[in-house]
């Protein structure tokens, strides 16, 4: 009987894990913060790229700089955020099951995320130092004078800037260059069309005109193209005679139904006057050009406009806009705002008379500071998770349990 009992008795062995209960619970709580950080990174990266009041500035930086740090930062945020949400589940399983192998993999991912967060903060820091240099102002002015109306991507870009923002130093010159050379020309090409629309958005949302002033448009390629005769414009400028449109309609104060892409000034004639009142064209609280609307005075846009016989001193996005105006539908309060000369009272009242550099500089300061804080603070959060994971790994104990039946 005893022999038969031993003959049919079976043994089962299983590996059990114990210890680290406190560390496991801490890691579960940490996962909530970990997921929250991933959601924050993902949303911020997407928000900066799709928000109509932010994305055009990001495109400006991307198109105008050989090292588009902000673009890289935004995409790193999106990728790191999505990655964080995925590996958060790995840490949950590792904490519940007390699996050292999963914890090891999770710690490797934490190190990678730590590097990504440090990259976000560092790139934002580098770009923050870069665009505060004087070359920003020079860039904006040059874009206004030589690219607005010439390069298809400049006009929408500067219109966006003048629609949304105001003025400041390195970037100001770069935007000025786009305004002068790229706005309103070769619109059949996607690059130039996008830039022109973005400049109108800047005029619309920033209630500005040009980079420094509406005069940014006076010698722009956009104005020269409208006038139809660049040589004639140069002669008229030398003789002190102003002809053609002074600036794009987005520089003017727009009607209610206008938008950055469809600027309709309240009074185009009054907006284009040199002494336009603020009611007709954006003034100090708004922006136009890099330093001032006069950035357009020597721009390619200005020259081409005058050569075609069009009286436009600034783009319509430089004019004061109606409440219904949008960056893609410029609606100047004064539709004639682009025809007023810079020293006319109607120009002062219907056109944004301050450049866009300070507003753009302020926004870039805010965005880069946000990325710097997020990058380095989330990097610290990754290190906290790494410490908790190491503690849990050290506290886990394995033993073999044998059961007989």
Domain ranges of the chain: 13-131+360-404, 146-355
Residue linked to tokens 């949303």: 43
- Non-local (6+) Cβ contacts of 20 within 8 A are 98, 391, 392, 394, 395, 396
As a whole number of angstroms, the distance between CA 350 and CA 337 comes to 6
As a whole number of angstroms, the distance between CA 30 and CA 4 comes to 55
**What is the residue-level pLDDT of the chain in tens, covering all 405 positions?**
444 545 555 556 555 555 567 888 888 888 899 999 999 999 998 888 877 666 666 666 665 555 567 778 888 999 999 999 888 888 888 777 777 788 888 889 999 999 999 988 888 887 777 665 455 666 667 777 777 777 766 777 677 666 655 333 456 666 777 777 778 777 888 878 888 888 887 777 767 777 766 767 777 777 777 655 555 445 444 444 444 566 777 777 778 777 777 778 877 777 777 666 656 766 533 577 777 788 787 778 888 777 777 778 888 888 887 766 766 678 888 888 888 888 778 887 788 776 666 667 777 778 888 889 999 999 999 999 999 888 888 877 654 454 555
Query: CA torsion angle for 355, 359, 360, 364 (degrees, to 10)?
Result: 160
Collapse the DSSP code of 400 into the 3-class scheme (helix H, G, I; strand E, B; otherwise coil) and give the result: strand
Token code pair at residue 401: 């349990």
Sign of CA dihedral 68, 69, 72, 74: negative
- Non-local (6+) Cβ contacts of 178 within 8 A are 60, 64, 140, 142, 143, 144, 146, 147, 148, 151, 153, 154, 157, 158, 195, 199
């Amino acid at each position: 009987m005893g022999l038969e009992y031993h003959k049919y008795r079976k043994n089962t062995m299983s590996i059990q894990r114990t210890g680290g209960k406190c560390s496991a619970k801490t890691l579960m709580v940490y996962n909530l913060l970990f997921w929250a950080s991933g959601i924050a990174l993902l949303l911020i990266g997407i928000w900066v790229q799709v928000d109509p009041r932010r994305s055009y500035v990001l495109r400006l930086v991307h198109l105008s700089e050989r090292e588009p740090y902000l673009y890289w930062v935004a995409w790193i945020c999106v990728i790191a955020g999505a990655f964080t949400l995925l590996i958060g589940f790995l840490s949950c399983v590792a904490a519940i099951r007390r699996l050292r192998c999963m914890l090891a993999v999770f710690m490797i991912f934490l190190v990678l995320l730590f590097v990504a967060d440090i990259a976000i903060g560092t790139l934002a820091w580098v770009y923050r130092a870069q665009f505060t240099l004087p070359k920003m102002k020079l860039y904006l002015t040059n874009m206004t004078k030589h690219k607005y109306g010439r390069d298809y991507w400049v006009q929408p870009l500067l219109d966006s800037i003048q629609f949304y923002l105001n003025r400041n130093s390195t970037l100001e010159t770069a935007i000025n260059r786009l305004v002068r050379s790229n706005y309103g020309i070769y619109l059949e090409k996607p690059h130039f069309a996008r830039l022109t629309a973005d400049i109108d958005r800047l005029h619309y949302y920033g209630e500005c005109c040009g980079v420094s002033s509406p005069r940014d448009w006076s010698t722009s390629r956009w104005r020269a193209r409208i006038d139809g005769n660049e040589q004639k414009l140069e002669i008229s400028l030398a003789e002190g005679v102003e002809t053609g449109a002074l600036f794009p309609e987005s520089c003017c104060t727009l009607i209610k139904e206008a938008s950055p892409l469809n600027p309709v000034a309240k009074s185009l004639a009054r907006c284009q006057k040199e002494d336009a009142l603020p009611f007709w064209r954006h003034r100090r609280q708004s922006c136009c050009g890099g330093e001032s609307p006069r950035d357009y005075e020597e721009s390619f846009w200005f020259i081409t406009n005058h050569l075609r016989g069009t009286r436009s001193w600034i783009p319509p996005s430089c004019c004061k806009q109606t409440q219904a105006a949008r960056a893609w539908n410029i609606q100047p309060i004064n539709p004639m705002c682009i025809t007023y000369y810079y020293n006319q009272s109607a120009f002062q009242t219907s056109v944004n008379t301050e450049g866009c550099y300070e507003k753009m500089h302020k926004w870039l300061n805010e965005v880069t500071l946000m990325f710097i804080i997020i990058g380095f603070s989330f990097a610290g959060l990754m290190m906290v998770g790494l410490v908790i994971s190491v503690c849990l790994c050290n506290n886990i104990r394995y033993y073999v349990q044998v059961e007989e039946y």
